[in-house]
Amino acid sequence: MKKWIILLAIPLLVLDCSNKKKGLLLPLFAALGGDNSAATQTPAAGQTDTGTSSFTVVSLDATDQNQVGAGNSSTNSGNTNTSAPTDSGNSNSSNGSGTSTGSSDSSANNGSPSSGSGSSSDSSGSGTGTSSGDNSSTAGNDNSSNGSGDSSSTTNPPATTTPEVVTPAPVVADTTVSTNTTTTVVNQTNANGGFNFETNVTVPVTVHLVNESGPVANAPVTVTENQSNGETNILGQGTTDTNGTAVIPISVPPTVTQVNVSIVGVNPTNGEVQEVTGSVPVQIPAPTGTTGTVVVAPTTNLNANNFQPVNGCVTAVDSDCDGVANQYDEFPENPALAFIARSGRYTIAFEDLFPDAGDADLNDHTTVFSTEMDKTPTNKVKVLRGVFTHVGKGAGYNHELRLSLDVPVTAKFEISYVDGSGKAWTGCAGATKYVAGATGDCTGGNITAAGLKRGLLILPSSDKTLFGKQNSPAPGTAFTAKDFVRGVTAHVTITFDEAVDLSTAKNMVGGHLNWFLAFNQKTNGVYRQIYRPGYVFGSNGKDTYIDSKGFPWAIIVPGVFNHPTAGSDIRKASTTGYAYFNTWAESNGSQHKDWYTQITNPVYIVRIKDFYTDNGFSAYLIKAVSKNIFEVSASLMVIGAALGFLMKKRIGKKAVN
């Protein structure tokens, strides 16, 4: 039976060679009972690879033979199996492969040697020893005749037959990965060792990548998380350097305990595009005898055999060839942009008695906000968008919220306002301004680098933006949804002339930009300003915005913060609604990171979260919903049609009555 299979296989082998198809020999030999164990078999998602890590190799359903590594035994740099006798000596040459792929029986159609023609068995560098003339004659033979005519010799030596050498099957091998991840405890402290009161987990994620040849450079690394809201949120991207190392700074809410690392590359033995992916911790259990978690910076050492960066671009997985795979690229047709970094919703809360210590009720000025950044493949920011809603003013002073950006470029600043019902608000122009020399207040415009650093106006004076209300009742005072007043909302877009790095300490602390408060109290004729810890330090190294009692004048809390009632010191057991705040602060943030969700005495908090709602369909739809824009539009059309039908029906009934 096998003889018949062999006979049937021979024409296929010839067809295989003549059509230059690679890899066809492998299944044929498998049918003859050969070993097929060399076939590529990429581990499925979720399967544990060799080694002790949880990293896996996932196929991205794209294969490009141009990605097969040079020097591989399955790669032939010459032409294969060309039998045309008119080629001048190179039609069957296999450069450096040691294999003759041309015909060994071609002649020049006469008995005379024809110099330089009819050579079909020559293999450049193969050492077969065949002559450049007709196989039936030898250069310089006395019995051969120059010119045309028959050979007079009857004692020709037997023709030399070059044995056929079969091109070996491509040698393919699985991509395998092993890893060793270490962690370093990160203290949640500022420059002089004090607690920085940052609720976010802000750490660097370090990746070292090597393969069988050593460190792997130019490999794209993406860090994501899906614990905060159940969706994949891109935290940062980078590329390994010549040492195979990429360091990507990230900042996540305290609910996130691990992040995901992805590296897209190719298996050089078969050209299959693959993803090496796994998770690393950013929080680990606290030491025995304590509770909570400890913030850590992870370093993962990946050894990925048969894995290297994509050579050039495979458009099937990277449409715009910017080095970021489509599955992580939110701008797959724009090589200048790669992804959108979304902050999620936060509340910034200020005490306003600076430089004196305040009453620690964290309600003098509170604003709910969220931001988005359009980032380049190198993690720089091209566009910054934000939404800011004023929700609390538990103070007699008036304040304005601003943003300072220390960057060496100019930017286009766009801003608009709506009131609590979603209607356009025009009261900014009439509000007192507290930063001299600022540009773009209320109107936006093109802002210089100096103007960006001085401070962009986000929300104007709080006596205007909360319409004379406070949303900060005394403890025990009845306060319902009817009493709550939603303040002015600002919609902000900042487009930089050139993409900028906003991850530096002068622009970002704890994963948040430099939002600050300016208010209507002066020192030496200048309106005072209040910053979060980490931005301003005195000559003694002390953080200027941590008060004498070790308390900050500003703090950012995840979500919509139910701030304390008027005069309720969040630190005192007798007046706090958050008993675990002190535990969090005294442990430098390692315990009870979710203190703001644990309301222990409702009398001392204002239920802002219960009363705060988006402005329905008039809410500002930033790019967070761009993926679902068609669904949103369709829903609005359906709802509009339904409302129109009901209104028409109601009007018809009234007309009948």
What pLDDT does residue 192 have? 65
Please state, for a pLDDT cut of 70, what percent of the chain lies above it: 69
Residue 20 has pLDDT above 60, yes or no: no
How many whole angstroms separate alpha carbon 586 and alpha carbon 237? 34
Local structure of 323: helix, strand or coil: coil
Strands 201-211 and 293-305: parallel
The residue type found at 588 is N
In a domain, 268, yes or no: yes
Q: Are 252 and 342 in contact (CB under 8 A)?
A: no
Strand partners, 401: 459, 517
DSSP letters for 186-233: ---B-TTS-B----SEEEEEEEEEEETTEE--S-EEEEEE-TTTSS-E
The terminus-to-terminus CA distance of the chain in angstroms comes to: 93
Tell which wins on pLDDT, 431 or 586.
431
What pLDDT does residue 64 have? 74
CA distances from 191 to 4, 195, 247, 355 (A): 81, 9, 21, 20
What pLDDT does residue 289 have? 67
Cα angle at 145 between 142 and 151, to 5 degrees? 90
What are 1-10's pLDDT values in tens digits? 444 444 444 4
What are 237-293's pLDDT values in tens digits? 999 999 999 999 999 999 999 999 999 999 999 889 999 999 999 999 887 766 778
In a domain, 433, yes or no: yes
Mean pLDDT, the chain, integer = 78
The residues, any chain, with a CB within 8 Å of residue 571's CB and separated by 6 or more, are 360, 551, 581, 582, 585
User: For the whole model, what pTM was predicted?
Assistant: 0.72
What pLDDT does residue 188 have? 74
How many whole angstroms separate alpha carbon 278 and alpha carbon 181? 11
In a domain, 426, yes or no: yes
DSSP letters for 461-506: -HHHHTTT--S-PPTT----TTT-----EEEEEEEEEEEE---STT
Q: Does a cis peptide bond (omega within 30 degrees of 0) precede residue 268?
A: no
Please give the distance of CA 653 from its chain centroid, rounded to a whole number: 57
What pLDDT does residue 207 have? 98
Q: Are residues 528 and 553 in the same domain?
A: yes
What pLDDT does residue 433 have? 98
In a domain, 35, yes or no: no
Q: Are residues 331 and 401 in the same domain?
A: no
In a domain, 12, yes or no: no
Q: Are residues 306 and 388 in the same domain?
A: no
Residue 623 has pLDDT above 60, yes or no: no
| Tokens standing for residue 354 | 């600076």
How many whole angstroms separate alpha carbon 495 and alpha carbon 135? 75
Tell which wins on pLDDT, 11 or 542.
542
Residue (of 416, 417, 431) closest to 463 by Cα position: 431
Residue 414 has pLDDT above 90, yes or no: yes
What pLDDT does residue 131 have? 41
Residue 634 belongs to what domain range? Answer: 627-656
Range picked from 46-50, 59-63, 106-110, 388-392 for highest mean pLDDT: 388-392
What pLDDT does residue 154 have? 52
Which pLDDT band, with edges at 50, 70 and 90, does 157 fall under? low
Residue 639 has pLDDT above 80, yes or no: no
| Tokens standing for residue 41 | 């078999």
Q: Are 487 and 420 in contact (CB under 8 A)?
A: yes
DSSP 32: T
Cα angle at 595 between 594 and 596, to 5 degrees? 90
What are 494-520's pLDDT values in tens digits? 999 999 999 988 999 999 999 999 999
Q: Are residues 431 and 456 in the same domain?
A: yes
Q: Are 532 and 554 in contact (CB under 8 A)?
A: yes
Q: Are residues 594 and 542 in the same domain?
A: no
Q: Are residues 253 and 318 in the same domain?
A: yes
Range picked from 44-58, 120-134, 164-178, 403-417 for highest mean pLDDT: 403-417
Q: Are residues 449 and 358 in the same domain?
A: yes
Which pLDDT band, with edges at 50, 70 and 90, does 116 fall under? very low
Q: Are residues 381 and 511 in the same domain?
A: yes
What pLDDT does residue 464 have? 97
Tell which wins on pLDDT, 113 or 612.
612
Q: Are residues 322 and 353 in the same domain?
A: no
Strand partners, 346: 369, 558
DSSP 31: H
Question: Helical H runs in 531-607?
Answer: 581-586
What pLDDT does residue 196 have? 86
What are 567-599's pLDDT values in tens digits? 999 999 999 999 999 999 988 888 888 999 999
Q: Which of 53-67, 563-577, 637-651 shows the lowest mean pLDDT across its residues?
A: 637-651
On the 0-12 / 13-18 / 19+ scale of CB atoms within 10 A, 327 is middle
What are 302-354's pLDDT values in tens digits? 999 999 999 888 898 999 999 999 999 999 999 999 999 999 999 999 999 99
In a domain, 500, yes or no: yes
Q: How large is the average pLDDT for residues 455-461?
A: 99
Residue (of 152, 143, 117, 149) closest to 131 by Cα position: 117
DSSP 169: P
What pLDDT does residue 426 have? 97
In a domain, 105, yes or no: no
The residues, any chain, with a CB within 8 Å of residue 392's CB and separated by 6 or more, are 349, 363, 364, 365, 366, 367, 466, 470, 471, 472, 563, 606, 608
- Residue whose token pair is 């703090």: 555
Local structure of 10: helix, strand or coil: helix
Domain count, the chain: 4
Please give the distance of CA 294 from its chain centroid, rounded to a whole number: 25
What pLDDT does residue 46 have? 33
Which pLDDT band, with edges at 50, 70 and 90, does 643 fall under? low
Choosing from 308, 338, 368, the residue where a domain stops is 338
Please state, for a pLDDT cut of 90, what percent of the chain lies above it: 57
Q: Are residues 229 and 270 in the same domain?
A: yes
Q: Are residues 424 and 528 in the same domain?
A: yes
DSSP letters for 326-378: TTT-SSTT-TT--EEEE---EEEEE---TTS---S-S-SEEEEEEEEEEE-TT
Q: How large is the average pLDDT for residues 509-533?
A: 96
Tell which wins on pLDDT, 311 or 437.
437
Q: Are residues 265 and 371 in the same domain?
A: no
In a domain, 586, yes or no: yes
- Residue whose token pair is 């319902």: 480
What pLDDT does residue 127 have? 42
What pLDDT does residue 191 have? 62
Q: Is 467 left (phi over 0), alpha (psi -120 to 50) or beta?
A: left
Q: How large is the average pLDDT for residues 417-426?
A: 96
